Amino acid sequence: MQIHELFLILFLIIIVARLFGELFTRLGIPSVLGELLAGVVLGPSMLGFVEPGRVLALLAEIGILLLLFDVGLDTDFKRLRQAGLKAISVAFFGAVIPFLGAYLLSFYVFNLSTFASLFIGGTLTATSIGITLRVLKDIHRDQTNIAQIVLGAAVLDDIIGVIALAFVYDFAITKDFSYMHTAYISFQILLFITVAPVIANFLGLLVRKFCPKSNYSGLVSSSIIAIILLFSYVAHSMGAPVILGAFAVGIALSQAFVLPNGYGLQHDIDFFAKIKQGTIPVAELFTPIFFVMVGVSIDFSDIAFGSAIFWYEVIGFTVIAVLGKYFGAFMITQKCSSNKMLIGISMIPRGEVGLIFAKIGQVNGVLDNETYSVLIFVIIITTVIPALLLRHLFRYECA
């Protein structure tokens, strides 16, 4: 791709995403769905103006990093900790049940191979934290108790998904279970979660210390974004999802993150405001690119709509994908069943996480084209329908 072609493509992505996002907002639909549709329209499914590529994938990745940083920055850490056990329960059952259900259905009902069945189970395991939280922000429900449980569970789901992917990928490639590799990745992720926010907080203190002494107006925004990129790299190096690095930095720099003996950035409202003012405009530019590229990665020409077995598998896997997340939500105590329903629906979207799983399976020859097309369609259903429902169903939330 030539540089001038990249400029034109970015122009199309930004403008069409904004137009569709604005249109959907006026229609009372979460803007993220407009951005996803913009990707479908611009991508190979319709106009074919935009194709997945390394440069666009990199820009999209920056978008999801900044979104998760912003989510972490606005997270009430105390409430997130209070939601801990409930989030763990939602994440555990919401990951294990879809994995086992999809595996058993694939292997015993649809007679797929062990490797394909494991990959299908892995694909239906994780929740798309980016799509879920963007919808909650769109409908101004990202600071509710339900959102804190969903946030904690979705982060844990991503971690479980990475561990499951490592486990399944090793098995598919080496034809053997690598317990040591899976245990090593699990330990590295746990270590990162424990240490990263503390280090990020001290780096934030350094930025705050030098901020008054600098004549450079962009010191705070550039320094914070640099820290986000660094921790995302470290997270990946330690086997964790890259978004976990950005989320850890957001948590560390939030006003609710408190270190022992009063150390940290808490109560510094002015510095917190500078962080928000410096990073939000950048996030608002890059985040829509991520959701557009999720839409671009969906190619309807890969989907075998005319096959009967295609529809049987779609229905079966969709039921597993939905009920698995619902079961995890109904295992916890809430003020009313409506709240459990909202948590369950919030956990359903698979989005980019499912697409990554499915693509790895196809590229490595574990999933044939028909099975791959089934998973793509299931991912579309489980991404779009919950996002449409949430806006209307949150009116039944028990305060």
Asked whether residue 159 is assigned to any structural domain, the reply reads yes
Helix (H) or strand (E) holding 255: none
Note whether 383 and 35 are within 8 A (CB).
Answer: no
- Whether residue 106 is predicted with pLDDT greater than 90 in this model: the reply is yes
pLDDT tens, residue by residue, 204-247:
888 888 877 776 777 888 899 999 999 999 988 887 778 788 88
Q: Name the residue with tokens 């210390």.
A: 209
What is the average pLDDT value for the chain, to the nearest integer?
A: 82
Closest CA to 165 of 324, 346, 354: 354
Task: Check residues 189 and 104 and name the one with the higher pLDDT.
Answer: 104
Give the pLDDT score at 342.
Answer: 87
CATH of the domain at 306: 1.20.1530.20
**Structural domain includes residue 323:** yes
Answer yes or no: is 324 within a domain.
Answer: yes
40-96: pLDDT as tens digits: 999 988 898 988 888 888 898 898 888 888 877 877 666 667 667 888 888 888 888
Handedness of CA 266, 271, 277, 279 (dihedral sign): negative
> What's the pTM value of the predicted model, to 2 decimals?
0.76
Residue 337: inside a domain, yes or no?
yes
The alpha carbon torsion through 173, 163, 230, 270 (nearest 10 deg) reads: 160
In a domain, 162, yes or no: yes
* Structural domain harbouring 213: 68-285+301-396
DSSP secondary structure string for all residues of 129-175: HHHHHHHHHHTT-TTSHHHHHHHHHHHHHHHHHHHHHHHHHHHHHHS
Q: Is the pLDDT of residue 339 over 80?
A: yes
> Does the structure show a pLDDT above 70 at 277?
yes
Instruction: Assess if residue 30 is contained within a domain.
Output: no
110-163 per-position pLDDT tens digit: 999 888 898 898 888 877 777 777 788 777 887 778 888 888 888 787 777 777
Per-residue confidence band for 260, with pLDDT thresholds at 50, 70 and 90: low
Tell me how far the alpha carbon of residue 354 is from its chain's centroid. 10
- H-assigned helices in the chain: 3-26, 31-42, 54-73, 77-82, 84-104, 114-123, 129-138, 145-174, 179-210, 219-237, 242-253, 269-296, 308-330, 337-346, 351-363, 369-393
* pLDDT digits 0-9 by tens, 171-194: 666 666 667 777 777 888 888 888
**Of 9-13, 301-305, 327-331, 370-374, where does mean pLDDT reach its minimum?**
301-305
Based on the structure, what is the number of domains in the chain? 1
